[in-house]
Chain A
């Protein structure tokens, strides 16, 4: 009787373990499928033209997304101009002086910002940049993406600066070095690799953002050098092409998606390499 019960318990245990394994397996199936389709469809469509040509007008086959690739890089650059100073300097405040109510408020707001849908941030950029300028522009898109970066960068900076031991700060202070120089010249450099990791993570995240760009950077079929004009970006171009009725544009959308995901994954790998480099120097 007791033995039977024990066997039943054992069977339940095995059953549940199998179910749990199944759950884990099912969750990675979509990833494998998406990556598989990306490779299969994208590889067919990617060619040299894709990287060097402008989009062709509707109905013509061929062309590429050169302007969108460059546009995405420009938008990321603009975003860094907005997001990095606030993220890094704000993170330094949180790590060094943020053990108070102000710090709590900033942390809370940064978390709320992190949970705010990117499209809402797009609306914000529209109201404060597009409306006053009366036109869609790269600046508005960069502004929106920059705000999206802030929470990731501020968190990473705070956590990594906090990891620098107090003894290092005290060693600096005891040398009669002013606190601000101790922080900027000794503490922050010690946390540099980690902060770079956080920044790269944030860049990878905004690189794929589409929604906030729809009505800020808008899109452009041509090269655009001026930052106060609409600019193309890879994600928006993929979206436009994917929902279009043209076969050749679908092909290009897959190519764009493959390139975009490759860029993001390469950034992640880069992040890993940088982090490894730090490990070595710490040893």
Chain B
């Protein structure tokens, strides 16, 4: 082993202050690409803020609290959309949370492995179906069923409550809430499963060793341990529901009015953007729509930030990736 002629000095100076120049260049380049994610977020907020400025200037703090939406007269208030977004999302959560949690408990704590795996797989599959396909199903299957079967029954049974009064259209807040519920179940269920699985077995065994039944062990040991993670999962689901667009647009009825009844049509922030953006009548109309987008952006940042903190505190960084 004598010669070193095989190795031409490969462009790297032998002395470089103790570090390799190419390595520093490489690190800098990758840093640039990584930072572009930060740049995108800053640019996104900045660009939206700039284009929404005319509307923000014109309406100020009244914008989210006014319920007129009249593109012709150029009078814009976002209240009906905010209301619709909140109500449809909360309705969705009230359906999805018990089902997801019960399902997650069954899959992690009770079901045998051979049964849990395929069911978990199917639930995860729900997340991969595109929103527009849910909407299609909502229009042609869910809404007619609600109109002919569910809403008359609910009206007869609970018609004294204002929530269940009025004509049965099929499309409306109830349909939106149900379709959203189906869509957020895989997210809440997936993160909840992750969180439950992160509970150390010793906790379960401690309770079982005291003579607890399986359910008692879950209630006294598992659920308290994973509480903040589960809350995080729910808030994560809320974030999804708030921003969900297509399926809701297709079944909510798209009427910018605030109605107490769940049978009545409504409108959400995401839906109004989807419907009116491409055909906005004026720059001012566009500015108002972008301001709604900006509000939606701000709310989802808050909601997701909160959810992530809660989930990370329990299941570590990995759980937050259960999104697709």
Residues of chain A touching chain B, judged by Cβ–Cβ distance below 8 Å, are 9-10, 12-13, 16-17, 19-24, 26-28, 30-34, 37-38, 41, 85-86, 89-90, 92-94, 96-98, 102-103, 105-106, 109-124, 126-128, 131, 136, 147, 150, 152, 154-155, 159, 178-180, 183, 201-202, 204-205, 207-211, 214-215, 218, 235, 238-239, 242-243, 250, 253-254, 257, 260-261, 264-265, 268
* Residue pair A21, B106 in contact (C-beta under 8 Å): yes
* Residue pair B36, A208 in contact (C-beta under 8 Å): no
Closest B residue to A184 by CB, please name it.
B26
Task: List, in ascending order, chain A residues with CB within 8 A of B128's CB.
Answer: 204-205, 208, 264-265, 268
* Residue pair B33, A123 in contact (C-beta under 8 Å): no
* Residue pair A23, B98 in contact (C-beta under 8 Å): yes
Digitize B117-161: 1 where CB-to-A-CB distance is under 8 Å, 0 elsewhere. Answer: 001001101101111111111011100000000000000000000
In the assembly, what is the distance between CA of A123 and CA of B23, in Å? 38
* Residue pair A118, B243 in contact (C-beta under 8 Å): yes
* Residue pair B243, A23 in contact (C-beta under 8 Å): no
* Residue pair B23, A178 in contact (C-beta under 8 Å): yes
Closest B residue to A90 by CB, please name it.
B34
Task: List, in ascending order, chain A residues with CB within 8 A of B43's CB.
Answer: 124, 128
Contacting A at CB under 8 A, from B1-41, are 12, 20, 22-23, 25-27, 29-31, 33-38, 40-41
Known: A27-B123, A117-B245, A119-B296. 7 other contacts (CB 8 A): A23-B103, A28-B119, A31-B129, A37-B141, A113-B37, A123-B290, A208-B132
* Residue pair A127, B51 in contact (C-beta under 8 Å): yes
* Residue pair B31, A239 in contact (C-beta under 8 Å): no
Task: List, in ascending order, chain A residues with CB within 8 A of B78's CB.
Answer: none
Q: Does B65 contact A (CB under 8 A)?
A: no
* Residue pair B101, A38 in contact (C-beta under 8 Å): no
In the assembly, what is the distance between CA of A28 and CA of B124, in Å? 10
In the assembly, what is the distance between CA of A120 and CA of B277, in Å? 11
Contact of B300 among A12, A110, A117 (CB under 8 A): A117
* Residue pair B41, A250 in contact (C-beta under 8 Å): no
Closest B residue to A92 by CB, please name it.
B30
CB-CB under 8 A for A34 and B137, given A13-B214, A90-B37 = yes
Contact of A215 among B12, B35, B278 (CB under 8 A): B278
Task: List, in ascending order, chain A residues with CB within 8 A of B33's CB.
Answer: 85-86, 89-90, 93
Task: List, in ascending order, chain A residues with CB within 8 A of B213's CB.
Answer: 9-10, 12-13
* Residue pair A37, B137 in contact (C-beta under 8 Å): yes
In the assembly, what is the distance between CA of A118 and CA of B133, in Å? 16
Contacting A at CB under 8 A, from B92-112, are 98-103, 105-107, 109-111
Q: Does B305 contact A (CB under 8 A)?
A: yes
Closest B residue to A206 by CB, please name it.
B130
Q: Does B69 contact A (CB under 8 A)?
A: no
In the assembly, what is the distance between CA of A257 and CA of B37, in Å? 32
Closest A residue to B307 by CB, please name it.
A115
Contact of A242 among B40, B102, B139, B239 (CB under 8 A): B139
> Which of B33, B50, B136 has the most C-beta atoms of chain A within 10 angstroms of its own C-beta?
B136
Task: List, in ascending order, chain B residues with CB within 8 A of A103's CB.
Answer: 34
* Residue pair A98, B277 in contact (C-beta under 8 Å): no
CB-CB under 8 A for A120 and B324, given A109-B38, A253-B136 = no
* Residue pair A23, B304 in contact (C-beta under 8 Å): no
* Residue pair B41, A113 in contact (C-beta under 8 Å): yes
CB-CB under 8 A for A150 and B37, given A112-B301, A119-B270 = yes
Closest A residue to B25 by CB, please name it.
A180
Minimum C-beta distance from A12 to chain B (A) = 6
* Residue pair A119, B273 in contact (C-beta under 8 Å): yes
* Residue pair B297, A116 in contact (C-beta under 8 Å): yes
CB-CB under 8 A for A178 and B107, given A86-B33, A111-B308, A155-B321 = no
> Which of A12, A28, A33, A113 has the most C-beta atoms of chain B within 10 angstroms of its own C-beta?
A28
In the assembly, what is the distance between CA of A109 and CA of B273, in Å? 24
In the assembly, what is the distance between CA of A280 and CA of B308, in Å? 35
Minimum C-beta distance from B206 to chain A (A) = 18
In the assembly, what is the distance between CA of A27 and CA of B243, in Å? 21
Task: List, in ascending order, chain A residues with CB within 8 A of B38's CB.
Answer: 105-106, 109
CB-CB under 8 A for A16 and B215, given A115-B301, A119-B243, A261-B133 = yes
Contact of A152 among B41, B105, B250, B324 (CB under 8 A): B324
Pairs of residues from A and B, 3 with the lowest C-beta to C-beta distance, nearest first: A117-B243, A208-B130, A23-B102
In the assembly, what is the distance between CA of A86 and CA of B37, in Å? 8
Task: List, in ascending order, chain B residues with CB within 8 A of A17's CB.
Answer: 106, 110, 214-215
In the assembly, what is the distance between CA of A110 and CA of B308, in Å? 12
* Residue pair B34, A211 in contact (C-beta under 8 Å): no
Contact of A93 among B34, B101, B236, B289 (CB under 8 A): B34
* Residue pair B274, A260 in contact (C-beta under 8 Å): no
In the assembly, what is the distance between CA of A178 and CA of B11, in Å? 12
Contact of A238 among B47, B136, B216, B289 (CB under 8 A): B136
* Residue pair A210, B37 in contact (C-beta under 8 Å): no
Q: Does B185 contact A (CB under 8 A)?
A: yes
